[in-house]
Amino acid sequence: MSKILVVVYSHTGTSRRVAELLCSQRGWRMAEIVDARRRSGVFGNLRCLCESLFKLRPAIRYDGPLPHDFDAVVLVSPIWALQLAGPMRSFVERRRDHLPDVAVVSVMGGQGAPNAVAEIARLTGRTPLLSTAFTVSEVDDGSYAARLEAFGVALNAAKDSKAVVQPVTLSPQTA
Ligand SMILES: Cc1cc2nc3c(=O)[nH]c(=O)nc-3n(C[C@H](O)[C@H](O)[C@H](O)COP(=O)(O)O)c2cc1C
């Protein structure tokens, strides 16, 4: 059984609920990234926007376990201004040399998840194993739960699989 850590950043609580449900469905451990500086009100929202527009890396605190002690890490984060939320960018950037395989769950109003996955791939130098996205309304009405469970099952299967594809299978010309 693979050891999987779920690392979440959440500003208003939706991503945290997603991470908590995933952990309770799969029995995985959860750890949280928090802002080093309080983020609230109109200025808080402006900071979110600026961090996305200028790809800034705000100061964060992370007191969770070391990701490299796990077989994979699931990153759960909101989308701001069509981009990865700044605090998750800070986490990935800071830990990129010590991250195991990564999977991504984006939480959003409706647009931007592919940009977050692409940024994480660029920062880590590896394509995430798996990614998915949920809207805030899907989380609020609970309709995301089955898809989240399927995501967890698929990630476990991907990590537990020992299958190796030989180059000959991928390219008939090498046969
Ligand atoms: C400043 C700001 C910008 C946002 N930009 C987007 C966006 O571009 N696309 C989108 O789908 N949702 C956007 N949202 C909605 C958030 O993705 C949504 O509120 C978030 O997923 C909630 O997660 P949380 O409760 O874990 O913080 C934005 C929210 C804020 C506060």
Tell me which residues of the chain have a pLDDT lower than 70. 162-175
**CA–CA separation, 171 vs 109, rounded Å?**
41
Rounded to 10 degrees, the C-alpha dihedral 40/67/5/138 comes to: 40
Instruction: Give pLDDT, residue 161.
Output: 83
Instruction: Give pLDDT, residue 174.
Output: 45
Q: What is the pTM of this model?
A: 0.94
For the Cβ of 86 lying below 6 angstroms from any atom of ligand 1, the answer is no
**CA–CA separation, 7 vs 37, rounded Å?**
19
Instruction: Give pLDDT, residue 2.
Output: 84
Residue type, 31: A
Q: Of 14, 47, 51, 80, which is best to mutate to test ligand 1, by the most ligand atoms within 8 angstroms of its C-beta? A: 80
Please give the distance, rounded to the nearest whole angstrom, from the Cα atom of residue 80 to the centre of ligand 1.
5
Lookup: tokens for 42: 């109109």
For the Cβ of 39 lying below 6 angstroms from any atom of ligand 1, the answer is no
Task: Tell which atom from ligand 1 comes closest to the C-alpha of 82.
Answer: 8
Query: Helix or strand or coil: residue 135?
Result: strand
Please give the distance, rounded to the nearest whole angstrom, from the Cα atom of residue 85 to the centre of ligand 1.
8
Query: Helix or strand or coil: residue 105?
Result: strand
User: Residue whose CA is closest, atom 30 of ligand 1?
Assistant: 80
Say if residues 53 and 85 touch (Cβ distance below 8 Å).
no
User: Residue whose CA is closest, atom 31 of ligand 1?
Assistant: 45
Task: Tell which atom from ligand 1 comes closest to the C-alpha of 9.
Answer: 26
Phi, psi of 45 (to 5 degrees): -65, -35
For 12-159, where are the E strands, in sequence order? 29-35, 60-62, 72-80, 83-84, 101-108, 130-135
The domains of the chain, with CATH numbers, are 4-174 (3.40.50.360)
For the Cβ of 79 lying below 6 angstroms from any atom of ligand 1, the answer is yes
Please give the distance, rounded to the nearest whole angstrom, from the Cα atom of residue 82 to the centre of ligand 1.
8
For the Cβ of 40 lying below 6 angstroms from any atom of ligand 1, the answer is no
Query: Helix or strand or coil: residue 27?
Result: coil
